[in-house]
Amino acid sequence: MKTTVTTRDVGDVKIVELHGKITIGAGDLQMREAIHAAVNGGAMKILVDMKDVTTIDSSGVGELVGCYTTATHKGAKLKLVSLPPKISDVLTVTQLITVFDVFTNEKDGLASF
């Protein structure tokens, strides 16, 4: 399955939807480019929708952390929504689940800003 990243706006929140694998050479760079474009474009509230992510590896996790750091340094908030169980497990094992604000659905994520 090809990795795709789409973005859309809901009010002043930029939603970055990830689809497919977020692994080295497949999706990690697309995710970074989309989130950096949002931050550099002035988005201060970014919600990363991961419901269609099938796999994430250490490279993908590293990119996610890098994007979070970039957003935070620029004063933006980056939050995660709709984590599949596999992705939630990876973030729990690495204890990164405590770093990110994570929401079960888009409505709750949007309301958190």
CATH architecture of the domain with residue range 4-107: 2-Layer Sandwich (3.30)
Render pLDDT for 47-84 as a digit per residue (tens, 0 to 9). 999 999 999 999 999 999 999 999 999 999 999 999 99
C-beta of residue 56 within 8 angstroms of C-beta of residue 22: yes
Name the pTM for this structure: 0.95
Q: Is 16 exposed, middle or buried (0-12, 13-18, 19+ CB in 10 A)?
A: buried
Q: Where are the domains of the chain?
A: 4-107
Q: Is 85 exposed, middle or buried (0-12, 13-18, 19+ CB in 10 A)?
A: exposed
C-beta of residue 55 within 8 angstroms of C-beta of residue 28: no
